[in-house]
Chain A
Amino acid sequence: MSGSLDAYLILAGLLFAIGSFGFLARRNAISMLMSIELMLNAVNLSIVAFGAFGTDAAMAAQGSVVALMVIAVAAAEATVGLAIVIAIYRNKRTPLVDEYDAMSQ
């Protein structure tokens, strides 16, 4: 099954699942951020695979463009996320999201 679209999609799906698991299981804000990056890159892999195995040349070009855009968006998201993590670390002195519970009490 190597060299087929399915192999890449399964790999991308597994990476996405690992990312989701990391997001749900980890309690460190930075680890959660990394998990989200993993999920976005898994999507990128499937986009590039769809493009490469696509029926026409237009799809291959579209795949590359979409993947580049997603990389840019992921970078912007990481910037905003790290800024927020730094801001809350200054207030709370911990990166653990379990401790961010002032409002639910």
Chain B
Amino acid sequence: MSWQDIVTASPFVVGVLTAAAILIVDLIRPGKTPVAVLTALVGLAITGLLTVVVGASVAAGDTPSTAFGGSYQVDALTTFLDLLFVAVIAMTILFGPDYFLPRGLPIAEFAAILVFAMTGAMLISAAADLLVLFIGLELMVLPGYLLAGFHKSDSYSTEGAIKYFLLGSFSSAIFLFGLAYVWGLTGSLRFNVIAEHLTTMATGAVALSPGLAIGLAFLTTGVAFKIAAVPFHYWTPDAYQGSPTPVTGYLSVLPKIGAFALILRLFVEALGPLADWWLPVVIVLATITMTLGNLVALTQDNVKRMLAYSSIAHTGYMLVGLAAWAQDPGVDGIGALLFYGVAYAFMNLGAFAVIAALQKRTGVTSSLGTFAGLGRREPIMAILMTLFLLSLIGIPPTAGFLAKAGIILAAVEAGGPLTILAVIMVVNAAVAAFYYLRVVVYMFMRDAPSEMPALRHGGLLWGGLAAAAALTILLGLFPTGLLEAASEAAQSIVGQPPT
């Protein structure tokens, strides 16, 4: 380990130090929410800044792109994803106090656990080695189990946590089993060596060896659990509904995008030569995931549970982007996937933040009835919720529209079975509009059963909501910069598309 290694990995290091700093600050000034939040936000700002600086320095060739003997790498994808992770965690911390303080739950621990989870996601996006990838995955999901059960005296919260934990650890064990076989049969932990080894095997026109097939099957199953793809999604509705609402927003975004980062690193970078073998599985998973997610969401009366199923459907849409690349590497399906990830992160976080805001008054449930008459009671909140829901449907000029359009275009361009997948996705998007709009109807066209006074929301919450709303609109109106960054990040792992 040298100083150079630390410099290359500095965003990750500062992330870990930030989490430690929050804990130390809370030890010195226990229960002081503003101090803890400020520490977290300053630390996250430094992490974000360092990510940009290190990314630029690596791109210019001033800093080595790998560290720790080649097991840690920084490329355009790392920088892109790390910035997204920092933004997601910062927003989640902003949404926390309004929900947790009335319930007497500590903010400092919440922020520290969130930042630890972020470092796990950052480790995944920077992994160049199977072991680092696995440690990053565990570092990302273990804090998630704790956060799901954060309201420990609430039976829903602990129930969600134990279901999330049991199925999460089960899937981690399955994933690790696959990892062991891929390592054992290719003889290397490094992604580039594995890819080289598999390339010679794939071009030699030999069939997949049974051991590698087992490994690939277990890895696919493990990852499908993590991204909540149907039929491995059973933990999702309960974990999302039971968790405290700001945590649900976090769970629906960061672990999912982190797991997609893992897919990009593992399936595209290391197992890319086997794409012909995993493509059919991804196509089937994408089809049933978006269809079932949307169909079940139609029947839900609890908005949190409905958004849980909707997030399953969104997983399916993102898988279409992956399939488009695997079908035809000349298509920028991965760039479309990354753009979708960013758009999804902000609109979904925003929608959950509105639910969290309404639940500031303890005892308010997340059922559809809570939204009745919201348009009259709290017009700004209702308009924001409408914006996020319209973006989730994919209506222009929001970010969600361009994200969906990008994925569908990539699928059509890739051709073959992907054309059918694109049609299924369009039909799904139309079906999804129904259950999202149902909330809008409740907000503006139903009267509340009993008149509730409007709530006073904290400045942090408004700040976070404003940021999420601004990003949702601005990414829809001026997407050029992000689109370029996304395709640059995609090219850093799949290489320049042949023109």
Contacts and interface: CB of A to CB of B under 8 A. Distances in A.
A65 B180 CA distance: 13
B173 A103 contact: no
A76 B153 contact: no
A66 B182 CA distance: 13
B131 A65 contact: yes
| Secondary structure type dominating chain A contacts | helix
| Secondary structure type dominating chain B contacts | helix
A80 B146 contact: yes
Interface stretch (B80-88, B162-170, B271-279, B350-358): B162-170
B162 A16 contact: no
Interface string A70-96: 100100110011011101101110000
A18 interface: no
Contacts, number: 119
Interface residues of A, number: 43
Contacts of A85: 162
The contact size tier of chain B is 35 or more
Given A46-B177, A50-B184, A103-B242, A77 B159 contact: no
B145 A80 contact: yes
B170 A36 contact: yes
Contact of B155 (A49, A80, A92): A92
Contacts of B187: 54-56, 59
B389 interface: no
B161 A40 contact: no
A92 B163 CA distance: 14
A40 B179 CA distance: 12
B142 A43 contact: no
The 3 closest A-B pairs by CB, nearest first: A50-B184, A39-B173, A88-B158
Interface of A: 16, 19-20, 23, 29, 32-33, 36, 39-40, 42-43, 46-47, 49-50, 54-56, 59, 62, 65-66, 69-70, 73, 76-77, 80-81, 83-85, 87-88, 90-92, 97, 100, 102-104
